[in-house]
Structure 1
Amino acid sequence: MRRPPAYTSKACDVPKGSVITSGPRRLIVGRLLGVGGLSRVYAAYYDELDSPEVAVKSSVVGEWSDEGTVACRASLLWEGEVLSELTHPGIVHLFSFGLAKEGLAREFPFLIMELLNGESLAKRSREAGGLRAEAAVSFVLAIGDILRYLHYEAQRTPGDLKTENIFIMPDGTLKIFDLAASVRIGGHSTCSGEFFGLGTRILWGSPPYTAPEQEDKAAVITGAADVYALALVLGQLMAPGYYGRGNEHLVRAHPVAPDLPENVQLVIDLMTTRNPAERVERETALRRVSALR
């Protein structure tokens, strides 16, 4: 099992001022907003009067013959397909997606999404040195509401649920973004290289949030994987640098990982059993989390 290869900034850059044609409209790429392992997000605006800013997420623009680049391109287009099916205020809104080439040597995949203003849960908890239990629990319960929609109505798991992928909006509401690793409930993990047309296995996810079954090509993925990730979200909110008892290799790599209160750790233990069949189910987990306030 390996992770997607890293890319140089030069390979990932979409030049400022690049034009993306989306239907009859022309979108001008502006400032860089953020950098991920496989993509970059830019602010952009339509060449129209009083056009509001939107966010453009692009994949690498290097040589498409490279296996990892092919995977990045496929995963971004997959994310566009996933987001186009979802309508929930707690999930970033997608306007359109596709392939663009104008002004560049090679075409690249793009997503046009709402521009999120605010900060990530990771940034909030890190700058606070950890949140109080009441605040952390409130955020986890709000994420639980979004997961109810994804599990019941959309029949999906986000696949890479973590504090870095959850934004706190100015009004205090949350939005989940980055669903490139999303799979159908009852489907198989994106750790399968064949998922993106590759012959090798590439794990799409983020330790320590990745549930054990997500690393098993043959495993059937259910909402239990999100219960596991949600437990680590709780731990990270209260103690940034927390890696969980089931991630000994990460704890060894980060010896300063903090401890949590015993009652919080007990709930996390119930939510992170290695066997998903033995893991506490989502609604029971949320009730136990709620009782921590």
Structure 2
Amino acid sequence: MRSIGRYSIHGVLGRGGMGAVFKARIPVIGRIVALKLLRPSELTLGLWGRERVERLFCDEAARLGSLRHHNLVDVFDYDDSGPWPYFVMEFYGESLGSVIGETYRVEAPSRRLPVPRAVGYAAQILAGLARLHHAGIVHRDIKPFNLLVADDDVIKITDLGLSKVRGESFGGPSNLKVGSPYYAAPEQEDDPDSADARADLYAVGVTLFRMLTGRLPEDGDWSVAALVPELGHEFDAVLQRSLGRRPADRFPDAATMAEALAEADARWQRRMDGVCAASSAALCPRCVPEGAELPRRGPAMVGVHAAREVFGLDALWRPAAYWPGRLEDAGDGMVRDKAAGIAWVRQAAPYPTSWEGAAAFVAALNAGQFGGHDDWRLPTIPELLTLLTPEPVGEGYCQPAALTQPVRRVWSADRANYAAAYAADVELGYVAKADFCCPASARAVRSL
């Protein structure tokens, strides 16, 4: 399949029982979008029937398209002139699921997020849900892979395929579950019609717990301090209430939960201010021994299946060992790392860009002989790993930024194939594959 309607197709983003989502390009202007095509499986058609399946699909597009909110994905086209209808949405290269490293084995451990990032994401999810709930819509499938992450770190709620409007009945087979295991509220699994806004808040509680601890909560287990003592007990009350087994035990609405979360975060910040005031801000322990081989300089093509071993990464794509990370001011907008034998341009590219755009940023630095040099290049993954640090705990939150204009995902010179390269998340400390068109930051490096 090379085109759907007027859109050229450039890859598959995901498949499910209702159809597939493709990476597509708008003709003439060339913008990359996500195109969701209804193409239900035989099992789905047998359970629902074509008429109901098409109505559900149309309802999803209409609900998303009719609402404008910072934390909801935008739908801007719909077409039913072909064999099956499709609608077109904004495209983003990351989801919260990919950020935390969740896989199809949902119960497996995932990456923890720093508290400010986890709380910020949860607050944005609640803001988007508040808009949906105000319109009478219950999402019923809040989970990390249905939460897209925009270039500016904004959460975008997507996939309203299982949502319902206030007063609407389920109308499906009695044995069909609505929602995703581990994230769906207990009452939603037993009786989808009974799920109201508080079922979505339960899913936010599960998501917040996972972001803070890297684990899913077990029944009656809501204390993050039991898994990560450094987090303290400031968030316990929020999690205990949001994860209540009965809807009546939970927050009444998203705004109330957001207020409680902000208060808990303020208490945590006050405690951390005290920790940092008494801290010497010593670096977290590193493992790379003195005299280790310098990071590889030249770019490489590394397949995804071999990447973890080649780059020296653990199961969650984090460094198995960390570099000293001692950056010194070299003047003229540069910093150097003598241990790694490299120098960095202190300022990253001002805006996220494609992989080709990152190469153009470096070419411009060389053309202008930035800092008196014309041998700047995109860093390899081994060079980017020298900037990564372990996930912060305790005094780890007190570390100042090593480089000015801190950015998150940074392009490397290493490719996964002829359409994707690797990027390193220098804040969260992991490596990921990204399509060339996905926006990320660009930093330039040179050998000393």
| Residues paired across the two proteins, number | 248
- CA shift at 1:227, angstroms? 1.3
**Alignment partner for residue 235 of structure 2, among 241, 257, 264?**
264
- CA shift at 1:53, angstroms? 2.2
**Which amino acid in structure 2 is aligned with residue 120 of structure 1?**
S
**Which amino acid in structure 2 is aligned with residue 19 of structure 1?**
I
Which residue of structure 2 aligns with residue 35 of structure 1? 15
Which residue of structure 2 aligns with residue 289 of structure 1? 261
RMSD across aligned positions (CA): 2.8
Distance 1:243 1:40 in 2: 30
Residues 66, 138 of structure 1: CA spacing in aligned structure 2 closer, same or farther, 3 A cutoff? Answer: same
The secondary structure found in structure 2 opposite 1:111 is: strand
The secondary structure found in structure 2 opposite 1:245 is: coil
**Alignment partner for residue 110 of structure 1, among 86, 96, 105?**
86
Alignment of 1:19-34 (within 5 A): 19-20=4-5, 26-34=6-14
- CA shift at 1:279, angstroms? 1.6
**Alignment partner for residue 207 of structure 1, among 161, 168, 181?**
181
**Alignment partner for residue 97 of structure 2, among 92, 97, 122?**
122
- CA shift at 1:210, angstroms? 0.8
The answer to whether the 8 A contact 1:82-1:182 is kept is no
| 1:211-235, Cα deviation, whole Å (9 max, x unpaired) | 1222344754322112111101101
Distance 1:157 1:246 in 2: 24
Residues 271, 19 of structure 1: CA spacing in aligned structure 2 closer, same or farther, 3 A cutoff? Answer: closer
Output the TM-score relative to the length of structure 1: 0.73
**Which amino acid in structure 2 is aligned with residue 58 of structure 1?**
L
The secondary structure found in structure 1 opposite 2:130 is: helix
State which structure, 1 or 2, has the greater radius of gyration over its C-alpha atoms: 2
Greater relative contact order (Cα 8 A, min sep 6): structure 1 or 2?
A: 1
Which residue of structure 1 aligns with residue 107 of structure 2? none
Distance 2:112 2:7 in 1: 39
Which residue of structure 2 aligns with residue 224 of structure 1? 198
Alignment of 1:160-175 (within 5 A): 160-175=141-156
**Which amino acid in structure 2 is aligned with residue 45 of structure 1?**
R
The secondary structure found in structure 2 opposite 1:138 is: helix
Which residue of structure 2 aligns with residue 93 of structure 1? 74
Which residue of structure 2 aligns with residue 133 of structure 1? 115
Which residue of structure 2 aligns with residue 250 of structure 1? none
Distance 1:65 1:285 in 2: 38
**Which amino acid in structure 2 is aligned with residue 18 of structure 1?**
S
The answer to whether the 8 A contact 2:17-2:40 is kept is no
In structure 1, stretches of 5+ residues that fail to align are 1-14, 21-25, 102-106, 248-257
Alignment of 1:70-81 (within 5 A): 70=50, 73-81=54-62
Which residue of structure 2 aligns with residue 181 of structure 1? 162
- Percent identical residues: 27
Distance 2:128 2:145 in 1: 16
Residues 163, 34 of structure 1: CA spacing in aligned structure 2 closer, same or farther, 3 A cutoff? Answer: same
Which residue of structure 2 aligns with residue 10 of structure 1? none
Output the TM-score relative to the length of structure 2: 0.50
